[in-house]
């Protein structure tokens, strides 16, 4: 921490540098998780360290701050690696192809986006985890949407909107419990109070997806769908029994088994099912024609670790749906653990920047005058919401966007006679849901990697995540459902 007060404009310099570099990188590289953005975060973090040292910070303290920042995302790193390996074993076992197969049979293209948001909302509400939801049913739904010709960004937006609604409203969610605990509110009182802003936001989201579904041209005939189904079933053994793998994983999370062991179990189960149901696929992935235990072992491990792409099947499906060369995508593909390395590097660099600006005291210096602008209920809630988004951008961490603003504004809400539920609701309406919209935030980088869709591509279509902070600010200014501790 610094001994001398840093001039406010100087404290802003690392963040301004980051914004400039990231903006330049978006224009030049058009890649949200590319190495250029990692360097932007490191350069900005270095500037923060230099300013901090000039104003009394010790190098040892800065390194400790960076170390603590990185430590905080170790569980997320493990989850990310497991999600990569799970996607690989679920692909070669036929789990993902089976989910795509039956999804194409059942879901009407017109209501696909609407149905996707509802399906992911239900699963996420049951599990309390947007990450697990997106990594399981989200991947399958992305495949279905791609097959019927919808843009990747639009599909990603519907998946994320539903997943974050369920995560936000679930009593099993870490962020929901954290927002309630930070604000000193009973968990179920917090969830009940959130319903006033969250349900209208989700209803508007569903209406938007329904309207887009009716007006977006998806010239997919039943004959094309049947041809695609035949291509998938010719390559993979398709059976309802394969649904038991995701069902068991989701059931474990519902039963409050932690996400990491549940995902590990799902990965191993996917490997076992691959050997039982898709032995030829496993041998193909192993690169061996010999039917042996070692070949099966190699096939499963190759799927967990490396890139798997059934290019001939993908090409055939693209041909069936007359997908233009520029728009072609790989429906049945997985990057495994290796596919997550760019994202992990981005998260490491983001947390290095976060640790540097926090350890040097720049973050607290920037936050100081913010509270002064909150003069009435509307401006207080708006300031809280903007601060949550600010911390999502600057600290690259969803939890920081809840913890720091929660501590900053707790006393102000009390002084103005506002119940703590107003604070907890605002934290979730603006902190939890906007983290996935920031390319270098751990949430945004992770979901982009899982879905294979650039953050800036799905951002405009994450209607729920965009509407939520606007809804809570509107409630504040119009005095709608604002609980007070005493009569004004």
What are the pLDDT digits (tens) for 434-467?
999 998 888 888 888 888 888 889 999 999 999 9
Asked if the structure places residue 231 within a domain, the reply is yes
The number of domains in the chain is 2
Asked if the structure places residue 227 within a domain, the reply is yes
> Which residue, 299, 333, 367, sits at the end of a domain?
333
Residue 326's pLDDT is 52
Asked if the structure places residue 1 within a domain, the reply is no
Give the residue-averaged pLDDT of 157-182: 87
Asked if the structure places residue 236 within a domain, the reply is yes
Task: Using the predicted structure, report yes or no on whether residue 38 has a pLDDT greater than 60.
Answer: yes
Asked if the structure places residue 2 within a domain, the reply is no
Residue 2's pLDDT is 47
What confidence tier does 4 reach under pLDDT thresholds 50, 70, 90? low
Asked if the structure places residue 43 within a domain, the reply is yes
For residues 66 and 97, membership in a common domain is answered with no
Give the residue-averaged pLDDT of 115-131: 85
For residues 317 and 272, membership in a common domain is answered with yes
CB 430 within 8 A of CB 384: yes
For residues 102 and 192, membership in a common domain is answered with yes
> Which residue, 300, 333, 366, sits at the end of a domain?
333
For residues 150 and 99, membership in a common domain is answered with yes
Give the C-alpha separation, 342 to 67, whole Å. Answer: 20
> Which residue, 301, 333, 365, sits at the end of a domain?
333
For residues 421 and 296, membership in a common domain is answered with no
**What is the pTM for the complete model shown?**
0.77
pLDDT digits (tens, 9 = 90+) for 300-337: 999 999 888 888 887 887 777 766 555 556 668 888 89
Asked if the structure places residue 483 within a domain, the reply is no
For residues 49 and 173, membership in a common domain is answered with no
Please state, for a pLDDT cut of 90, what percent of the chain lies above it: 31
For residues 79 and 194, membership in a common domain is answered with yes
For residues 378 and 468, membership in a common domain is answered with yes
What confidence tier does 351 reach under pLDDT thresholds 50, 70, 90? confident
pLDDT digits (tens, 9 = 90+) for 188-207: 888 899 999 999 999 999 99
Q: Indicate the range of 167-176, 318-327, 439-448, 474-483 predicted with least confidence.
A: 318-327
Task: Using the predicted structure, report yes or no on whether residue 3 has a pLDDT greater than 70.
Answer: no
Give the residue-averaged pLDDT of 399-426: 84
Q: Higher confidence at residue 485 or residue 281?
A: 281
Residue 26's pLDDT is 67
Residue range of the domain that includes 173: 75-333
For residues 261 and 153, membership in a common domain is answered with yes
Matching residue, tokens 């149901």: 277
Asked if the structure places residue 3 within a domain, the reply is no
Q: Higher confidence at residue 375 or residue 447?
A: 447
For residues 235 and 178, membership in a common domain is answered with yes
Residue 201's pLDDT is 96
For residues 327 and 366, membership in a common domain is answered with no
For residues 366 and 399, membership in a common domain is answered with yes
């Amino acid at each position: 921490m610094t001994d001398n007060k840093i001039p406010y404009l100087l404290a802003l310099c690392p963040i301004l540098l980051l914004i400039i570099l990231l903006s330049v990188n978006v224009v030049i590289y058009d890649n949200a998780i590319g190495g250029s953005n990692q360097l932007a975060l490191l350069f900005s973090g270095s500037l923060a360290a230099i300013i901090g040292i000039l104003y009394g910070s010790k190098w040892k303290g800065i390194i400790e701050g960076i170390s603590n920042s990185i430590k905080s995302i170790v569980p997320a790193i493990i989850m990310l690696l497991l999600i990569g390996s799970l996607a690989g074993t679920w692909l070669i076992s036929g789990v993902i192809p089976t989910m795509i197969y039956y999804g194409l049979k059942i879901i009407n293209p017109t209501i696909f986006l609407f149905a996707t948001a509802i399906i992911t909302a239900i699963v996420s509400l049951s599990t309390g985890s947007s990450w697990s939801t997106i990594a399981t049913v989200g991947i399958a739904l992305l495949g279905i949407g791609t097959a019927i010709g919808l843009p990747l960004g639009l599909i990603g937006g519907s998946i994320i909107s539903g997943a974050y609604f369920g995560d936000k409203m679930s009593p099993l969610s870490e962020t929901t419990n954290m927002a309630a605990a930070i604000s000193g509110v009973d968990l179920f009182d917090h969830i009940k109070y959130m319903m006033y802003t969250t349900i209208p936001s989700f209803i508007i989201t569903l209406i938007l997806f329904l309207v887009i579904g009716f007006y977006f041209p998806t010239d997919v005939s039943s004959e094309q769908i049947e041809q695609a189904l035949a291509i998938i079933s010719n390559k993979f053994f398709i059976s309802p029994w394969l649904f038991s793998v995701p069902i068991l994983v989701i059931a474990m999370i519902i039963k409050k088994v932690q996400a990491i062991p549940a995902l590990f179990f799902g990965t191993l189960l996917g490997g076992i099912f691959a050997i039982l149901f898709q032995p030829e696929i496993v041998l193909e992935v192993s690169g061996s024609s010999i039917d042996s235990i070692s070949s099966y072992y190699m096939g499963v491990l190759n799927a967990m670790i490396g890139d798997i792409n059934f290019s001939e099947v993908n090409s055939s499906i693209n041909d069936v749906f007359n997908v233009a060369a520029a728009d072609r995508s790989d429906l049945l593909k997985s990057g495994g653990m290796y596919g997550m390395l760019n994202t992990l590097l981005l998260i490491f660099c983001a947390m290095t920047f976060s640790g540097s600006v926090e350890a040097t005291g720049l973050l607290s210096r920037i936050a100081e005058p913010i509270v002064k602008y909150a003069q009435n209920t509307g401006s207080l809630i708006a300031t809280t919401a903007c601060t949550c988004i600010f911390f999502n951008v600057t600290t690259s961490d969803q939890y920081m966007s809840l913890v720091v603003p929660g501590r900053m504004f707790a006393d102000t809400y009390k002084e103005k006679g506002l119940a703590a539920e107003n604070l907890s609701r605002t934290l979730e309406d603006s902190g939890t849901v906007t983290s996935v919209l920031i390319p270098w935030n751990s949430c945004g980088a992770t979901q982009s990697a899982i879905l294979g869709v650039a953050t800036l591509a799905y951002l405009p279509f994450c209607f729920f995540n965009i509407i939520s902070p606007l809804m809570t600010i509107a409630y504040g200014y119009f005095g709608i459902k604002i609980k007070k501790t005493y009569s004004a």
